[in-house]
Amino acid sequence: MIFAPSRPAMRSPLDAWVSLATGLHGPEPDALRRWQALRLLEAARWARERSPFYARLLKHLPDPIPDDPAWAARLPFVTTHDLREHHEAMLCVSQGEVERVVTLNTSGTTGKPKRLFFTGEDLDATLDFFRVGMASFTGVGDVVLILLPGRTEHGAAMLLAKALAEIGVRPVLAPQPCPPEVAARLIAEEGVTCLAALPSQLRALLEHSPGPPPWSPAPDRALDRALLSGEPVDDGLRQAAAKAGIEIFAHYGLTETCFGGGVECGAHQGYHLREADLLVEVVEPVSGDPVANGRQGEVVLSTLNRRGMPLLRYRTGDMGRMLPGPCACGSPLRRLGPVAGRIVTDGGAIQVLTPEKGTANTP
* Residue ranges binding Zn ion (CB under 5 A): 12, 265, 267, 327, 329, 331
Number of residues assigned to the chain? 363
| Whole-angstrom distance, CA of residue 111 vs CA of residue 213 | 45
CB of 269 to Zn ion, least distance (A): 6
| Whole-angstrom distance, CA of residue 308 vs CA of residue 296 | 31
Which of 75, 265 has the CB closer to Zn ion?
Answer: 265
CB of 327 to Zn ion, least distance (A): 3
C-alpha angle 196/253/315, rounded to 5°? 165
CB of 331 to Zn ion, least distance (A): 5
| Whole-angstrom distance, CA of residue 207 vs CA of residue 67 | 55
CB of 292 to Zn ion, least distance (A): 21
Which of 260, 363 has the CB closer to Zn ion?
Answer: 260
Amino acid at 46: W
Which of 12, 119 has the CB closer to Zn ion?
Answer: 12
Question: How many angstroms separate the first and last alpha carbons of the chain?
Answer: 29
CB of 272 to Zn ion, least distance (A): 6
Pairing of β 170-173 and β 114-119: unpaired
Which of 13, 230 has the CB closer to Zn ion?
Answer: 13
| Whole-angstrom distance, CA of residue 311 vs CA of residue 278 | 10
| Contacts of residue 209, Cβ cutoff 8 Å, sequence gap at least 6 | 180, 184, 215, 244
Which of 250, 327 has the CB closer to Zn ion?
Answer: 327
